[in-house]
Amino acid sequence: MKEGGLRKIVAANWKMYKTRGEAEKTASELRVSMTEETAGGRRVVIFPSFTNIAAVAGVFAGHPSVSVGAQNFYPAVEGAFTGETSLNMLRDLGATWALTGHSERRHILGETDELVARKTAFALQEGFSVMLCIGETLAQREAGELDKVLSRQTESALAALPPDSLGRLAIAYEPVWAIGTGKVAGPTEALEAHAAVRALVLKLLGDAGRSVPILYGGSVKPDNAATLLELDNVDGLLVGGASLNSQSFLQIVNA
């Protein structure tokens, strides 16, 4: 089943890269080249570091196709949470999207399925759009646990969605073994995983699940972007390293 009616999303995760000046320069280069037409009618979301959100949001203010998001946040309105950042603070900087469940936060920083679910529901409740990341490690895939892992991560995260929030939810499938390694899931592997995620979403959300975009993330580059975007149930791309350079990211956006 190809969800061809969904508007494709191409997202950039800049992770812990770029000073404010560097981020503003890259954003400005993108803004000059990225009209609504050159973006092919696609939605673009950029996730800079906290310190760069305001600068990037300022560059893209008023752009009809580009939004800015936060890579992380704490699921509370405010409070004694030293070192954390609230959604109200991020909204004040110009962020309208939030990333949850990224593999680096799960596997390096120890975020549990329960915490990812709390954050996902809270951000949607607060009016943000959310890009929920799910995916398996190489050991889990080789052990035949793909469906088990995707089911656990998806079911926990979607268990307590606020009413009327589906229009602001996207899911990014990111095979952990393909992130930053140069490896990429082949067409067969990507088709298998995305079909499994779509089936899960439909099972959990009913027919409304057809409107939830499912993105692929994991060593996306200009030379594989078009092939990935043509696959069934691939409704966009979450791009890491290749999004740090304005020209390579533009090639992916226009793939």
Structure tokens at 19: 């000073």
Distance in angstroms (rounded) separating the CA atoms of residues 77 and 89: 9
pLDDT of residue 160: 85
Residue 37's pLDDT band (boundaries 50, 70, 90)? Answer: low
pTM for the complete prediction? 0.94
Structure tokens at 68: 């800015």
pLDDT tens-place string over residues 135-163: 998 888 889 999 999 999 999 999 989 98
pLDDT of residue 185: 73
Residue 187 vs residues 4, 7, 55, 80, 173: alpha-carbon distances, Å = 17, 21, 37, 47, 14
The dihedral through the CA atoms of 209, 70, 81, 173 has a sign that is: positive
Spot the catalytic one: 24, 126, 174, 194.
174
Phi, psi angle pair for 162, to nearest 5° = -65, 150
Residue 102 is a catalytic residue: yes
Distance in angstroms (rounded) separating the CA atoms of residues 154 and 169: 12
Residue 63 is a catalytic residue: no
- What domains can you pick out in the chain, each with its CATH number? 9-253 (3.20.20.70)
Q: Quick check: 116 pLDDT over 70? A: yes
Spot the catalytic one: 24, 102, 136, 194.
102
